Amino acid sequence: MSGAFQAPRGIPDYFPPNSADFRKVRDTLTDAARRAGYGHIELPIFEETALFARGVGESTDVVSKEMYTFTDRGDRSVTLRPEGTAGVVRAVIQHGLDRGQLPVKVCYAGPFFRYEKPQTGRYRQLQQVGVEAIGVDDPALDAEVVAVADEGYKRLGLSGYRLEITSLGDDASRPRYREALQEFLFGLDLDEATRKRAEINPLRVLDDKRPEIREATANAPLLIDYLSDEAKAHFDLVLANLDRLGVAYEINPRLVRGLDYYTKTTFEFVHDGLGAQSGIGGGGRYDGLMRQLGAKQDLSGIGFGIGVDRTMLALEAEGVAGTQAARCQVFGVPLGADAKAELVGVAGSLRAAGISVDLAYGDRGLKGAMKAADRSGARLALVLGENELAGRRIEIKDLGNGEQQQVSLDDVVAEVTRLLG
C-alpha cells in the first residue's frame, strides 16, 4: 500500500490559521488597486501557448525553460499561465475593451505557474496580484501604478523594502543601445548559449544571475545613457509624479525585468530580508505588446505583478504580526440534543443577519466547548442548556471580559447585533 498523497513539489498549501494572513495580503493589495479605479478581471488558468511565446518573448527563461505546456485532447498546445499581462491584453483585444473608455484599468489575483527549482519564495505555483492600465501613454499613469503597489505594501505594515526604477527606453532609444551592448558583449568570452542570447536579445544577458556573468558585464553600457529626448522627458515626469505622491525610489540603471515586452518605465520592489529571492513585486510599461498580439490599434500599457507568497515572507522577515483573524464572531455552545437543535436555528438567523457563527459540534461537554469558543477568536459565546431552553432563554458571554447575561431566545439576534455594534 502506498503512502499518503502530498502536494506536488514546489506548490504550497495555505490553510487555517495562516490562510487568514494569505487572504489579508491578497485583499489588501487588490483593495489598493480598487481605490484607484481598477476593476476586477478574471483570467483563464491556461491559454494558447503561442500567446505567451509571442507576448512574453521566445528568449526569456519563462518561455524557453519554465512554462507548463501540454497538448490537450483537441491536439492544441496550451500553457498554464506563467504571468498575467499577456492574458489581459488578449482579453482587451478579444472583447474590444480598447474601443471604449481609455485607459482600461483592471486588477486580478490568482495562481500562476512556472517550472522552477523550488526554494523559499520561489514556487512552481505562485500567487500574484496584478494591475494593468492599457490605452494611455501618460507618465502620471505610470506613477499611479507604482503608487498603488507602494500603498498596498504600506497598508500591510511593510517598511523594509525599496523601490528600484529605471527606463528601458523607446523605439528611438533601443537600436543605438542594442548595437553598443552587443559590441560590448561580443568582446567577452561567453558560452555558446549566452552568446546566442546576446544575438537575440542582448538585454537578457544583463538579467543573468550567474556570478561570473554579472562580473563580466559589470562595465556594460547602460540603456539609461542612450535614452531619446522623448523617453528621457517621460522618465523625468514619472519621477516628478512619484515625488508628488510621496513614493520613495532609487534609480537602478542596471535593472532588467525577466520579460521581453517592457519599455520605458520599469520597476521592482526589493526586500533584502528575503535573501536571494529579494524581489517582491514589479512591472513596467509595455509599448508595442498589443500590436504583437494582433490588435488593430497599438495602444500602450503599464502594469505590475506582486508576489503574495513573497510579500508574506517579507512580513515574516520584519516580524510584522500575523492577522490571527477570528474564525467567527459568535460561538454557540449547546448542552444537550434539544439545545443543539435550537442553536442550529439561532445560528442560521444570525448568519442571515450578516453575523459569522460557529457551533461546538460533536456533543462536547461545557469545558471542552468553551475552550473551542476561545480558540475560535469569537467575541461572544451563546450557551444554551436544557434549563435555559425550558425557560426560552439563552446565556450570552463576552469572551473578552467574561461578562454574562441572559436574554430571551426571541431577542437573541437583536441583542447580539447590538453587542457586536
- When computed from its CA atoms, the radius of gyration of the chain, rounded to whole angstroms, is 27
CA distance 354 to 87: 36
Mean pLDDT over 1-19 rounds to 87
Strands 104-113 and 125-134: antiparallel
Domain 330-420, CATH class in plain words: alpha beta
Residue closest to 89 by CA, chosen among 307, 283, 264, 291: 291
At 206 the pLDDT is: 82
Strands 104-113 and 39-40: parallel
pLDDT in tens, 199-253: 888 877 887 778 899 889 989 999 999 999 999 999 999 999 999 999 999 999 8
At 184 the pLDDT is: 93
Mean pLDDT over 21-42 rounds to 96
Buried b (16+ CB within 10 A) or exposed e, 21-39: bbebbbebbbebbeeeebe
Query: Percentage of the chain with pLDDT > 90?
Result: 74
At 260 the pLDDT is: 64
Buried b (16+ CB within 10 A) or exposed e, 333-362: bbbeeebbebbeebbeebeeeebbbbbbee
pTM: 0.88
Q: Is 330 helix (H, G, I), strand (E, B) or coil?
A: strand
Q: Which three cell numbers stand for residue 368?
A: 471542552
- Is 97:139 a contact under the CB 8 Å cutoff? no
CA distance 325 to 23: 10
CA distance 406 to 370: 17
Residues 6+ apart with CB under 8 A from 87: 43, 44, 47, 51, 81
DSSP state, residue 35: T
pLDDT in tens, 348-381: 999 999 999 999 999 889 999 999 999 999 999 9
Q: Which three cell numbers stand for residue 35?
A: 481605490
DSSP state, residue 119: B
At 16 the pLDDT is: 87
At 59 the pLDDT is: 66
Q: Is 125 helix (H, G, I), strand (E, B) or coil?
A: strand
Domain boundaries, the chain: 18-173+227-317, 330-420
Helices (runs of H) and strands (runs of E) counted in the chain: 15, 16
CA distance 128 to 153: 14
At 324 the pLDDT is: 64
pLDDT in tens, 50-95: 999 988 877 677 888 899 999 999 999 999 999 999 999 999 999 9
DSSP state, residue 103: S
Confidence of residue 322 (pLDDT cuts 50, 70, 90): low
Distance, CA of 104 to chain centre: 19
At 142 the pLDDT is: 98
Instruction: Supply the mean pLDDT for the chain.
Output: 92
Q: Is 101 helix (H, G, I), strand (E, B) or coil?
A: coil
Mean pLDDT over 8-16 rounds to 92
At 174 the pLDDT is: 84
At 236 the pLDDT is: 98
Residue closest to 36 by CA, chosen among 147, 136, 157, 140: 147
CA distance 11 to 309: 11
Residue closest to 52 by CA, chosen among 97, 17, 87: 87
Mean pLDDT over 124-138 rounds to 96
- Is 145:285 a contact under the CB 8 Å cutoff? no
Query: Percentage of the chain with pLDDT > 70?
Result: 97
- Is 66:263 a contact under the CB 8 Å cutoff? no
Domain 18-173+227-317: which CATH number of 2.40.160.60, 1.10.357.10, 3.30.930.10, 3.50.50.60? 3.30.930.10
At 38 the pLDDT is: 98
Q: Range with the lowest mean pLDDT among 284-288, 333-337, 341-345, 399-403?
A: 284-288
The continuous run of DSSP H or E covering 228 comes out as none
Q: Range with the lowest mean pLDDT among 5-9, 188-192, 347-351?
A: 188-192
Confidence of residue 411 (pLDDT cuts 50, 70, 90): very high
Residue whose C-alpha cell is 504571468: 83
